[in-house]
Amino acid sequence: MILPIQSIQPVGDSAVLITFATDIDEQSNTHIISLSNQVEKSLFPYIKESVPAFTTITVYYDSYNICYEDIRVMLLNSLSETSTSVKQPCRKIIIPTFYGHDLGTDIERVANFNKLTVEEVVFLHTSTAYKIYMMGFLPGFPYLGGLPKQLHTPRLDNPRQLVCKGSVGIAGPQTGIYTLDSPGGWNIIGHSPIEMFMPKAENPFIWKPGDWIQFQSISYNEYELLKKDINNGTFRIETEIR
């Protein structure tokens, strides 16, 4: 698959934004993530980081040792030579989540908007795996695709000043997890106590673009036990290689 480049332009004095002429869909995004990974490897050490998004790649480069005009030519050459047929390894990460009650205060709003019961909301939300299309807004915040249409719900009219980290939310056709405490306008339907952003770790995130997330409904007793296991250092995230 060849993705045509719509534009390539500077972002500040040490980054390049590459925009592809494509719609937002799983296949195109998979190719963009693959291109981003391969370009970062092929142009090392000139590139510091390559960040894929829905239909773009932002490339951060060492502006002390290479100028924009040269990195632009190198990127165009690299993209023309890079194959997106190489299968990128990805994981499915299981996220235990307690739904509703005080930790998912908007679940009834989601249910009422879509004419569902709370139990049906939980069933639908846990019935599929969600691809991480990109990360942004907060460090490691995953923008997930694949939310069932029956759960699409508008954002809150009045965003909250504080949404606790670990909160699982729905906004329009997307679902996601807050990795840090933050203001936010998503409908909060549940909470996971897992630490998802560890700034002092060599790899601070537990996932990356291209991985998949599957939510797993747990009881409040299981939620409390899980918090104890996390605090004791005995919890291990369940993953599957796809």
Whole-number pLDDT of residue 90: 84
Range 41-45 contact pairs with CB under 8 angstroms and sequence separation of 24 or more: 42/78, 42/82, 43/71, 43/74, 43/75, 43/78
The larger pLDDT score, comparing residue 4 to residue 190, is at 190
- With cut-offs at 50, 70 and 90, classify the pLDDT of residue 1: low
- Strand-strand pairing, 129-135 and 167-171: unpaired
Reported as a single tens digit per residue, the pLDDT across 27-86 is: 999 999 999 999 999 999 999 999 999 999 999 999 999 999 999 999 999 888 766 555
Cβ count near 2 (within 10 Å)? 9
Residues 6+ apart with CB under 8 A from 79: 5, 18, 35, 39
Domains and CATH numbers, the chain: 7-81 (3.30.1360.40), 91-241 (2.40.100.10)
What is the Cα–Cα distance from 230 to 64, expressed in whole angstroms? 43
Question: Would the pLDDT of 105 be above 80?
Answer: yes
Whole-number pLDDT of residue 88: 67
Reported as a single tens digit per residue, the pLDDT across 139-197 is: 999 999 999 999 999 999 999 999 999 999 999 999 999 999 999 999 999 999 999 99
Note the pTM of the prediction, 2 decimals: 0.91
What is the Cα–Cα distance from 110 to 106, expressed in whole angstroms? 6
Compute the mean pLDDT over every residue in the chain, rounded to the nearest whole number. 94
For the chain, the maximum distance between any two Cα atoms, rounded to a whole number of angstroms, is 59
Query: What phi and psi, each to the nearest 5 degrees, are found at residue 202?
Result: -60, -45
